[in-house]
Amino acid sequence: MAKTAILFPGQGSQTPQMRELVARVRPDLLELVAGMVGEDPFPRAGDGTDFAQPAIFCASLAGWEELGRPSAELMAGHSLGELAALVAAGALDERDGLALVVLRGRLMERAGRIAGEGGMVAVLGDGASERAGEIAQAHGLTVANDNSPQQVVLSGARSRLGDAAEHARRLGLRAMQLDVTGAFHSPMMASALPEFERALERVEFRKPRATVVSAVTARPFADPRRELADALTMPVRWRETLLALRDLGAERFVDVGPGRVLSGLAKRTLRDVELVNA
């Protein structure tokens, strides 16, 4: 039987209109996030992960709310979107989820400063997912985001990104250094782990109403505390996650986040599926 999968995006999906959506649909969530962050995070969503992640989390839940909280057999989130997916599936209390996102954003921003000189480069074009590993290995980088067959993001020391980009171009691919504050989803985020792991131990996880697929393992969540912690330093296997959702029967994919990042990646990865945007 055909199933629906709801997708919750991660950083990089922010739009200028997302605050308006949250204010209209979930004004209570807007008030709550401002209190937890210490200010309204939306005007500063472009300043760093400490503002972007809480804003995107709230906008994704507001997008889901605007659609009427559609029920679905399957859910998944890209990076921080995993926390929104777990909240929507009933596995995690919304306030706890938001508190974890606020902490996560702060810790990742701080980890970027501690590690210093970290960055990311996107490798684009047909065959990117097949060649990205050899580029990363040749330049001491990490495959951070395997987003689609045509888009992979590498993470590591900023001083090595230029050579990696040139390597990609020699292979007939395109490359673009990203405007980010750290080498996310790489070992350079390790300093964020201890405090985040302690926070995860303090919250309750329940059995979800839907199957939530982890983007770290590309399998249904088995140990959310471990998998959410691992997501800080391990790759986002989004291409494999989409394929796993399809193997589990998903034929309709609903992107509830701001922008259309995940529906675009699904279009490049899957064939003969229905794509819906909030």
Q: What is the pLDDT of residues 132-180, one digit of tens each?
A: 999 999 999 999 999 999 999 999 999 999 999 999 999 999 999 998 8
Angstrom CA distances, 159 to 162, 164, 222, 264, stand at: 7, 10, 37, 30
Q: What is the mean pLDDT of residues 98-106?
A: 98
pTM of the model as a whole: 0.95
Secondary structure element (H or E) that encloses residue 174, with its range: strand 174-177
Query: 3-114+186-277 maps to which CATH number?
Result: 3.40.366.10
Residue 179's pLDDT is what?
A: 87
* Cβ atoms 97, 83 nearer than 8 A: yes
Query: 117-177 maps to which CATH number?
Result: 3.30.70.250
* Cβ atoms 112, 118 nearer than 8 A: yes
* Residues listed for the chain: 278
Residue 241's pLDDT is what?
A: 98
List active site positions.
79, 185
Beta pairing, strands 74-77 & 142-148: unpaired
- Percent helix / strand / coil, the chain, rounded to 5: 50, 20, 35
Both tokens of 72, joined, read 């679905």
Beta pairing, strands 211-213 & 74-77: parallel
For the chain, residues classed under CATH 3.30.70.250 are 117-177
Q: How far apart are CA 220 and CA 6, in angstroms?
A: 14
The sign one gets for the Cα dihedral 228, 230, 231, 235 is negative
For the chain, residues classed under CATH 3.40.366.10 are 3-114+186-277
The per-residue pLDDT of the chain, averaged, comes to: 95
Residue for token pair 């959410």: 228
> For the chain, how big is the Rg over CA atoms in Å?
18
